[in-house]
Structure 1
Amino acid sequence: MQENTEREPESTPTEKNKPADAMAGKVKETYEWWNNLATINEEDPLWVGAAKIGVRLFGILILLALSPLILVGFLMAFIAAA
């Protein structure tokens, strides 16, 4: 009789975190894109600087609008996990 000596590789903790690492990488890329978009440079004309300030304010408003929804999501996650 032949025994199957090939075993499936055991999952290591780093393999389990791959989706989380991918998500963290995407979040980092998105933040850097947004930060570069809204950063005022010396060579920017006045109207571009004003537009970039508007972009920053718009981003802050979006985060403030989403924060209650995110908090409710975390609350529901903790209730579901308990």
Structure 2
Amino acid sequence: MKRFALFFSLMLAVVVLLYGHLALQAAPDGNTYYISPNGNDNNSGATTNKPWATFNRHCNLINPEHGERCSDDQKNRIFDLIEHLKTLSYLGK
């Protein structure tokens, strides 16, 4: 019985050493989009310097990947827009 326990412990240690790093990989970050009353709908919306002007026009059109966010600088809350899409506030200009 002691041999089996030792063998099992060694096998478990080998598996953890070989495959343990797979569980430690970070999930990829999604895209963040910015909206501001001073923005322009022709902007990319990808930075605070080039935000979109309207929330509904673009946030309803994007096909969100896991973790993508739309941000409206007029809101001080986080809420689900649709599945996997969240809005966050940022300090607009």
TM over 0.5: no
Going by fraction, where is helix more abundant, 1 or 2?
1
TM-score (ref. length: structure 1):
0.29
TM-score (ref. length: structure 2):
0.26
User: Greater RCO between the two (CA within 8 Å, min separation 6)?
Assistant: 2
Going by fraction, where is strand more abundant, 1 or 2?
2
